[in-house]
């Protein structure tokens, strides 16, 4: 499994998160496993993250201030934009997992018609949806949101725990 990290500073109206990097875990699930959304949900649940939804990723730039987010991909490939307008484009495939710290902007650039994302969150964190410049209160929520107790892919031994201290 290959892991890529991306650290995003404020980008125009997108607050991003200068403290915690986004992590892209490549080929977490096999091709066979990534055809079944339940396998991705089970992975997250085993590692202490709560699967909450199955859907696409919004096609507009947005971020969350009240939760870190794990996105597990099944079905088909997609290209996402991270970090807000003029950010970084990343390609995701079925079986990949993207972990976004609160504040990091993301949206879909293009998807295969089979594309499906599974959204999961650490215990006690409920996501909000922000599409405009963060006010002072939103920036404080991002800054004070604690690191999760586990890595959604590797549990208590994951790289996320080392990087998000």
pLDDT of the residue at 35 = 82
Residue 153 lies in a domain: no
Percent of the chain with pLDDT over 70: 100
pLDDT of the residue at 12 = 93
Higher per-residue pLDDT: 122 or 33: 122
Residue 112 lies in a domain: yes
Residue 70 lies in a domain: yes
The strands making up 2-8's β-sheet, listed across from edge to edge, are: 2-8, 17-26, 97-100, 69-74, 116-121, 50-55
Among 109, 94, 106, 102, which Cα is nearest to 146's? 102
Per residue in 8-32, pLDDT (tens digit) is: 999 999 999 999 999 999 999 988 8
The number of domains in the chain is: 1
Residue 151 lies in a domain: no
Residue 88 lies in a domain: yes
Domain of residue 85, CATH code: 2.60.120.10
Q: State which residues form the domain around 98.
A: 2-125
- Contacts of residue 154, Cβ cutoff 8 Å, sequence gap at least 6: 47, 160
Q: What is the mean pLDDT of the chain?
A: 96
Residue 143 lies in a domain: no
pLDDT of the residue at 32 = 86
DSSP string, 87-145: -EEEEE-TT-EEEE-TT--EEEEEE-TT-EEEEEE-TT-----B-S---HHHHHHHHHP
Residue 158 lies in a domain: no
53 has pLDDT over 90: yes
**Cβ burial, residue 106 (10 Å; 0-12/13-18/19+):** buried
Residue 9 lies in a domain: yes
pLDDT of the residue at 31 = 85
Per residue in 119-158, pLDDT (tens digit) is: 999 999 999 999 999 999 999 999 999 999 999 999 999 9
* Mean pLDDT value across residues 61-82: 97
């Amino acid at each position: 499994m290959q892991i890529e990290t991306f650290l995003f500073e404020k980008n125009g109206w997108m607050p991003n998160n200068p403290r915690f990097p986004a992590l892209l875990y490549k080929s977490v699930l096999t091709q066979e496993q990534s055809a079944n959304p339940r396998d991705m949900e089970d992975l997250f649940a085993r590692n202490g993250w709560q699967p909450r939804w199955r859907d696409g990723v919004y096609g507009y730039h947005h971020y969350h201030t009240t939760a870190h987010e794990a996105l597990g991909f099944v079905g088909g490939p997609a290209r996402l934009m991270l970090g807000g307008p003029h950010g970084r484009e990343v390609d995701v495939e079925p079986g990949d997992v993207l972990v976004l710290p609160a504040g990091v902007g993301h949206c879909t650039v293009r998807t295969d018609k089979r594309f499906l994302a599974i959204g999961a969150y650490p215990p006690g964190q409920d996501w909000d949806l922000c599409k405009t410049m963060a006010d002072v209160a939103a920036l404080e929520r991002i800054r004070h949101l604690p690191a999760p107790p586990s890595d959604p892919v590797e549990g208590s031994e994951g790289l996320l725990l080392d990087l998000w201290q």
